[in-house]
C-alpha cells in the first residue's frame, strides 16, 4: 500500500510517518512517500475550489497519482488532482475543518475525507486566556514599549489599569471543543460565564457550569466577549456594528476563531471611538494583515499572527487522530470524523 504524505513545518513529514507506522503496523508492504511544503513561512492561499492551502497541483499529482491514501495538513486537493489520482481510496486532512479539500469532488468519486476536529482545542483555549490577560492587563503594550526603551510606569495610573477577572462576567460565543475549554478556564478565575450556542444541547452547558443565554444578553452583560463559533454562511460577520453596539464601554472583545466571523471595519471604528475598552485578535479577514491595516494605529488592541493553534502537542495530536480514524476504517470499524460520511453509508449499502 502506498501512502502519499505532504507535511509542513508544524505537522512535519516525520511526524506523519512515525504515527502511520505505529498505527498501521498490520498493513503489509507499507510504502510512505512525500515531501513538505513551506507553510507557515509561505502564507495560506485561497482559490476557486478550496481555501487555506499551500502547494502546487502538478507536484501533488506527481506524488499521489498511484497512491491509495493521501494525508496532508494544508496541501490542496482539487478536482484536477482527484482526476489524476486513479487509485486513491482515502483522503486525510489533519485539520478541524478540511477547507483545503474539494469535498464534493471527493464524494462524487466515493473517497472518504477524514479530518481532526478538536486537535488544537487545548492550546487555542490556553492561548485565548493568554490573549485576554495580555490585553486587559497591558502586558503586550508594556512589553512592546520596554523593548523600544520606554518604561511604561504610567500603566499604574488608575485610569490606565485593567481589571481583575475574578467576579466579572465572561461571555463565550460558541461552545464547541475550544469554547468548552475556555469556559472552564474562565470559571477557574471565579468568573460568571454566560454562553451562546444554538447548536449545543443543555447537557454541555451544564457540564461546563455555564448559563445558556441569548446572544443579545451575553453581549450586553459580559465584561469579556470571546468568540469560538465555526465560520458558516450564517455566522459570517456575526460580530458587526449592530452587535458590537450592545457591548459595555468597559468590555473587551476576543477573537481566536476565524476572521470571517467579524466585520473588521466596524470593529476598528468601535475601538477607535473607545466604545469598547479593547480587543485581542489572532485572526483576520485578510491574512497576513496588510502593512497599511488600520488596526496597527490603535492603542487598545493586542494582535497576533494567527498562531493560536500552534503547539508541539497539536502537531502530534493532529496526525494521531487522523491515522487512528483511517485505521478504524481499514479494519471495518465505525469511524467518527469523516467529513462526507454519506460515502461510508453508500459503501455499506453496496456491500
| pLDDT the model gives residue 345 | 80
Spell out the domains of the chain, with CATH numbers in brackets.
2-117+311-350 (3.40.50.720), 121-303 (3.40.50.720)
pLDDT in tens, 89-101: 999 999 999 999 9
pLDDT in tens, 42-89: 999 999 999 999 999 999 999 999 999 999 999 999 999 999 999 999
**Residues 36, 75: Cα–Cα separation, whole Å:** 9
Catalytic residue list contains 306: yes
**Residues 90, 88: Cα–Cα separation, whole Å:** 6
pTM score, whole prediction = 0.93
> How much is the average pLDDT of 151-169?
97
By residue count, the chain amounts to 351
**Residues 336, 292: Cα–Cα separation, whole Å:** 44
82, 192, 329 from 198: Cα distances, Å: 36, 20, 31
pLDDT in tens, 294-336: 999 999 999 999 999 999 999 999 999 999 999 999 999 999 9
**Residues 204, 177: Cα–Cα separation, whole Å:** 10
**Residue from 258, 313, 325, 342 carrying the catalytic annotation:** 258
pLDDT in tens, 247-271: 999 999 999 999 999 999 999 999 9
Residue 241 CB partners (closer than 8 Å, separation 6+): 263, 266, 269, 270
pLDDT in tens, 26-37: 999 999 999 999
Chain-wide mean pLDDT for the chain? 96
User: Is 232 a residue whose pLDDT tops 80?
Assistant: yes
User: 350: pLDDT confidence band, cut at 50, 70 and 90?
Assistant: low
- Lookup: cell for 320: 494521531
**Residues 139, 137: Cα–Cα separation, whole Å:** 5
| pLDDT the model gives residue 335 | 97
Q: Is the dihedral of CA 256, 261, 265, 269 positive or negative?
A: negative
Question: With contact defined as beta carbons under 8 Å apart, do 97 and 323 qualify?
Answer: no
User: Is 351 a residue whose pLDDT tops 80?
Assistant: no
| pLDDT the model gives residue 348 | 55
Catalytic residue list contains 143: no
What region does 50 belong to: left with phi over 0, alpha with psi -120 to 50, or beta?
beta
Angle at 131 between CA 193 and CA 198, to 5 degrees: 40
**Residues 66, 159: Cα–Cα separation, whole Å:** 65
DSSP structural state of residue 201: -
195-232 burial: b if 16+ Cβ within 10 Å, else e: bbbeebeeebbeebebebbebeebbebbbbbbbbbbbe
**Residue from 23, 141, 306, 317 carrying the catalytic annotation:** 306
User: Is 118 a residue whose pLDDT tops 90?
Assistant: yes
User: 349: pLDDT confidence band, cut at 50, 70 and 90?
Assistant: low
Catalytic residue list contains 258: yes
H helices present in 160-307, as ranges: 177-187, 202-208, 215-221, 241-244, 264-272
User: Is 206 a residue whose pLDDT tops 50?
Assistant: yes
Nearest to 3 by CA among 88, 60, 69, 90: 69
Question: With contact defined as beta carbons under 8 Å apart, do 22 and 319 qualify?
Answer: no
| pLDDT the model gives residue 329 | 97
Question: With contact defined as beta carbons under 8 Å apart, do 173 and 225 qualify?
Answer: yes
Question: With contact defined as beta carbons under 8 Å apart, do 37 and 12 qualify?
Answer: no
89-113 burial: b if 16+ Cβ within 10 Å, else e: bbbbbbbbbbbbbbbebbbeeebbb
pLDDT in tens, 124-136: 999 999 999 999 9
> How much is the average pLDDT of 283-300?
95
Amino acid at each position: 500500500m502506498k501512502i502519499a504524505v505532504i507535511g509542513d513545518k508544524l505537522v512535519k513529514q516525520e511526524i506523519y510517518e512515525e504515527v502511520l507506522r505505529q498505527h498501521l503496523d498490520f498493513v503489509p508492504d507499507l510504502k510512505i512517500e512525500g515531501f513538505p511544503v513551506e507553510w507557515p513561512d509561505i502564507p495560506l492561499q485561497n482559490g476557486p475550489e478550496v481555501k487555506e492551502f499551500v502547494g502546487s497541483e502538478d507536484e501533488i499529482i506527481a506524488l499521489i497519482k498511484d497512491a491509495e491514501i493521501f494525508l496532508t495538513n494544508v496541501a490542496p486537493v482539487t478536482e484536477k488532482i482527484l482526476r489524476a489520482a486513479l487509485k486513491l481510496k482515502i483522503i486525510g486532512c489533519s485539520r478541524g475543518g478540511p477547507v483545503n479539500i474539494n469535498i464534493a469532488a471527493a464524494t462524487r468519486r466515493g473517497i472518504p475525507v477524514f479530518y481532526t476536529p478538536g486537535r488544537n482545542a487545548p492550546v487555542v483555549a490556553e492561548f485565548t486566556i493568554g490573549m485576554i490577560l495580555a490585553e486587559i492587563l497591558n502586558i503586550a503594550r508594556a512589553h512592546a514599549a520596554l523593548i523600544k526603551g520606554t518604561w511604561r510606569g504610567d500603566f499604574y495610573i488608575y485610569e490606565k489599569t485593567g481589571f481583575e477577572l475574578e467576579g466579572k462576567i465572561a461571555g463565550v460565543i460558541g461552545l464547541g471543543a475550544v469554547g468548552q475549554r475556555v469556559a472552564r478556564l474562565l470559571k477557574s478565575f471565579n468568573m460568571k460565564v454566560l454562553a451562546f450556542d444554538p447548536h449545543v444541547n443543555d447537557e454541555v452547558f451544564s457540564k461546563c457550569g455555564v448559563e445558556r443565554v441569548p446572544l443579545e444578553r451575553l453581549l450586553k452583560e459580559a465584561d469579556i466577549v470571546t468568540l469560538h463559533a465555526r465560520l458558516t454562511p450564517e455566522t459570517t460577520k456575526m460580530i458587526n456594528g449592530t452587535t458590537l453596539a450592545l457591548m459595555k464601554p468597559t468590555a473587551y472583545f476576543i477573537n481566536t476563531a476565524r476572521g470571517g466571523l467579524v466585520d473588521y471595519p466596524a470593529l476598528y471604528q468601535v475601538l477607535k471611538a473607545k466604545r469598547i475598552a479593547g480587543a485581542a485578535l489572532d485572526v483576520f479577514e485578510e491574512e497576513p494583515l496588510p502593512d497599511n491595516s488600520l488596526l496597527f494605529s490603535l492603542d487598545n488592541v493586542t494582535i497576533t499572527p494567527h498562531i493560536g493553534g500552534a503547539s508541539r502537542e497539536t502537531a502530534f495530536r493532529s496526525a494521531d487522530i487522523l491515522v487512528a480514524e483511517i485505521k478504524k476504517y481499514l479494519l471495518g470499524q465505525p469511524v467518527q470524523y469523516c467529513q462526507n460520511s454519506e460515502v461510508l453509508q453508500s459503501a455499506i449499502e453496496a456491500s
